[in-house]
Amino acid sequence: MKTRWTPTKTAIVLALCAGAVATPGFAAAQTGVAPPVEKPAATKTPAMTVLPGEDFFTYANGDWLAKTEIPADRGSWSAMGALAEDTNTRIAKMIEDVGADKNASAEARKVADFYASYMDEAGIEKRGLAPIKPMLTSIAGIKDKAALVRALGGSIRADVDPLNSTNFFTENLFGLWVAQGLTEPSRNLPYLLQGGLGLPDRAYYLENNARMAELRTKYQQHIAAMLKLAGMDRSDERAARVFELELALAQTHATREDSANIQKSNNVWTMKEFAAKAPGIDWKAFFKAAGLDKQERFQVYHPTAITGAARLLADADVATWRDYLAFHKLNQYASLLPKAISDQRFEFTGKTLSGTPQQSARWKRALGATNNAMDEAVGKIYVAKYFPAENKARVQAMVANIIDAFSRRIEKLDWMAPATRAQAQAKVKGMYVGIGYPEKWKSYEGLNIVAGDAFGNTVRAEEFHYKQELAKLGRKPERTEWAMPPQLVNAVNLPLQNAMNFPAAILQPPFFDPKGSDAANYGAIGSIIGHEISHSFDDQGAQFDAQGRLRDWWTKEDLAHFKTASNKLVEQYGTYKPFPDLAVNGQLTLSENLADLAGVAAAYDAFKTTPSGKTPDADRQFFTGFAQGWRSKAREASLRRAVLTDGHAPSQYRTYIVRNLDAWYSAFDVKPGQALYLAPQDRVKIW
């Protein structure tokens, strides 16, 4: 539901959760298991009795927690991770079968050749640094600031999503995203976002504590090791200067909280305004190198980062910037280079940053890379083999039922004025809901995939995608365009499009079982559907109207009520502490928590309209099914990283959203004095 894991490439995204997908490349840190509210961590066993009102997460998932170990190649593990692993295993076999099929289509053949080339470790090792040498030679040839600006502009790629908590980050100086303007739904604009860091977030550079200081030291050592492996002398000195440059960039970056504030990101600059607002760069040369010189208007998502980078370039030490560019090229393409370089990158990003003891098997990384390069081409093959039409029809019926339930909830709100209610109902009625796969598939006709050229294939795929994104700037926005491929275990809300995507891969057990009960399905996939619908009315989504335009459609009184109620949820989540020295950020996770709250409530209402919803044990089954969908475990480093950078609360606390629903109390006989009990007046009720 939020933003959060995959290389999504379109739309302000509010995605299901960070970490649902376990495949490298289509993955991120999964939210994790943590102690109950203000209680010390304890080892739970199935034999122990845990009252729902004390710890609902462990009540629902105790057996799974006791018998499940996090795989050695993971920083975390979850129900979604396990499903993604099973799905990816099938997809990898599917691609291998395509490779052996002489009758495969030209597009399917490209998929198979890309995957097989990535799997050719011996060939990659034999070629050594030769594939990346032209890039490094070009960087070494940068002699002055003018050449540096052209190189930085030419390195831009369309590899970010605003508000995508795991794809918000790019190692390029700036990230580019192409979508309709925040206030101009009839035209696409280029969005510029902050980037250029090798650590996950500005907090890793700026927070003053022993853990972060240690990570900074190890990161600097990683930079030096990568430069040394590339044959560069004085690597320690170079690494120190590169780190200082990144530190200076980090100081100009917006915080995660500010990045989630869409009003602060609504800055449209004309091409002419860049010189005045961000002096220090020859912007005409920069945008020409980026292929953006014909654009008159830009959506500047992070103005402080744009002006800050320009200021740094005004006094640029060209030698330091050369080393910076060389390191990031090596870091970005490490998996396509000799094993020593690939292993070094994992040593830092895997072991040090995420606490993952073992690198993923090569086939998993190959599949992640293939998904990144040709996501919908893989998805087309997957859907044909694994997603029957009857599954789509049943989910469509569930979606319609839950949308109706949400509409009924809006109609009954006693705090909402008629004018606001009419606008809210217009959003509900105008939603586009994509189920399973897109109505129009991407074309990969112009992408050149060469068997045995793993490095070249990846670079050409990036350039191909970039050109596809630039081409959108000359077209009107397409509301039905998908932001996720069908083979991804996730779901997403797209406020600019007033749309949602539910990929085929999440529409399977344990989230959706065509043969399962309504209680299980509405509790699991139903709450996810409700979550995505509700994102249209969270603190971010509620700022967009039915056409996807950023517009205030609220009365003053209604907006004040909404903000007051939302602040109660911020405070509630701020009390949860996965570690004694680290609490959940209630503001950072607000959008997801609001969507969880309204989503479960709407799914529950929809479930109660079904025949199964009237059975004696129906409510217990529904809420237990919801909690079991979020079962997960995480290593400490991975969980700490998620708490600092992820817009989703850790999974345990996501299940605690039920504390705000009256039906949960009666279903499990939750009493005052139990850890999760909230007095009726303290339960957050919005939608």
Domain holding 664: CATH number?
3.40.390.10
Q: What is the pLDDT of residues 411-442, one digit of tens each?
A: 999 999 999 999 999 999 999 999 999 999 99
Domain final residue, candidates 325, 354, 383: 354
Q: Does residue 342 share a domain with residue 211?
A: yes
Cα→Cα distances 136→227, 233, 289, 475, Å: 11, 14, 18, 36
Q: What is the 3-state secondary structure (H, E, C) of 99-119?
A: HCCCCCCHHHHHHHHHHHHHH
Looking at this protein, which amino acid is placed at residue 534? S
Q: In the prediction, which pLDDT does 48 show?
A: 47
Are the beta carbons of 144 and 156 closer than 8 angstroms?
no
- Nearest of 114, 109, 89 to residue 99 by alpha carbon: 109
Burial of 612 (0-12, 13-18, 19+ CB in 10 A): middle
Q: Does residue 303 share a domain with residue 394?
A: no
Domain holding 146: CATH number?
1.10.1380.10
3 state DSSP class of 533: helix
Q: Does residue 282 share a domain with residue 251?
A: yes
Q: In the prediction, which pLDDT does 180 show?
A: 94
**pLDDT confidence bin for 482, thresholds 50/70/90:** very high
pLDDT of 27 > 90? The answer is no
Concatenating the DSSP letter of every residue in 642-670 gives: HHHH-SS--HHHHHGGGGG-HHHHHHHT-
Beta strands 499-503 and 432-436 are parallel
**Cα(366)–Cα(124) distance, rounded to whole angstroms?**
13
pLDDT of 265 > 60? The answer is yes
Within a domain: 677: yes
Q: Count up the domains in the chain and report the number.
A: 2
Q: What is the pLDDT of residues 162-219, one digit of tens each?
A: 755 445 568 899 999 999 999 999 999 999 999 999 999 999 999 999 999 999 999 9
Location of structure tokens 């049943």: 394
Within a domain: 40: no
Domain final residue, candidates 294, 319, 354: 354
What average pLDDT does range 522-538 have in this prediction? 94
Q: Does residue 540 share a domain with residue 425?
A: yes
Domain final residue, candidates 290, 323, 354: 354
Q: In the prediction, which pLDDT does 299 show?
A: 96
Concatenating the DSSP letter of every residue in 173-199 gives: SEEEEEEE-SS-TTSEEEEEEE---SS
Q: Does residue 299 share a domain with residue 235?
A: yes
pLDDT of 10 > 80? The answer is no
pLDDT of 259 > 80? The answer is yes
Neighbour tally for 343: CB within 10 Å = 13
Domain interval for residue 384? 14-28+45-87+373-682
- Mean residue pLDDT of the chain comes to 91
pLDDT of 631 > 60? The answer is yes
Kindly report the length of the chain.
687
Q: Which residues contact 420 (CB under 8 A, 6 or more apart)?
A: 553, 554, 555, 558
Looking at this protein, which amino acid is placed at residue 342? S
Q: In the prediction, which pLDDT does 15 show?
A: 59
Q: In the prediction, which pLDDT does 474 show?
A: 84
Neighbour tally for 501: CB within 10 Å = 32
Q: In the prediction, which pLDDT does 17 show?
A: 54
Within a domain: 524: yes
Q: In the prediction, which pLDDT does 321 show?
A: 98
Within a domain: 122: no
Taking the mean position of all CA atoms in its chain, how far away is CA 622?
27
pLDDT of 23 > 60? The answer is no
- In this prediction, what percent of the chain has a pLDDT beyond 90? 88
What average pLDDT does range 89-103 have in this prediction? 96
Low-confidence winner among 10-19, 506-515, 660-669 (lowest mean pLDDT): 10-19
Q: Which residues contact 476 (CB under 8 A, 6 or more apart)?
A: 186, 187, 188
Location of structure tokens 């909280």: 257
Q: Does residue 53 share a domain with residue 168?
A: no
Q: In the prediction, which pLDDT does 14 show?
A: 54
Read off the tokens for 668: 């499990």
3 state DSSP class of 323: helix
Q: What is the pLDDT of residues 51-82, one digit of tens each?
A: 999 999 999 999 999 999 999 999 999 999 99
Q: Does residue 286 share a domain with residue 144?
A: yes
Q: Does residue 565 share a domain with residue 479?
A: yes
Q: In the prediction, which pLDDT does 193 show?
A: 95
Within a domain: 101: no
Q: In the prediction, which pLDDT does 49 show?
A: 78
Q: Does residue 172 share a domain with residue 59?
A: no
Q: In the prediction, which pLDDT does 168 show?
A: 55
Q: Does residue 383 share a domain with residue 346?
A: no
Within a domain: 363: no
Q: Does residue 420 share a domain with residue 274?
A: no
pTM: 0.89
pLDDT of 41 > 50? The answer is no
Backbone angles phi, psi at 614, to 5 degrees: -105, 5
What number of H helices and E strands is found in the chain?
Answer: 30, 12
**Cα(577)–Cα(595) distance, rounded to whole angstroms?**
21
User: First CA to last CA across the chain, in angstroms?
Assistant: 18
What average pLDDT does range 146-171 have in this prediction? 81
Within a domain: 4: no
Tell me which H or E stretch contains 632: strand 632-634
Q: In the prediction, which pLDDT does 25 show?
A: 32
Are the beta carbons of 190 and 298 closer than 8 angstroms?
yes
Q: In the prediction, which pLDDT does 36 show?
A: 33
* Residue scoring higher pLDDT (254 or 14): 254
Within a domain: 114: no
Q: Does residue 348 share a domain with residue 460?
A: no
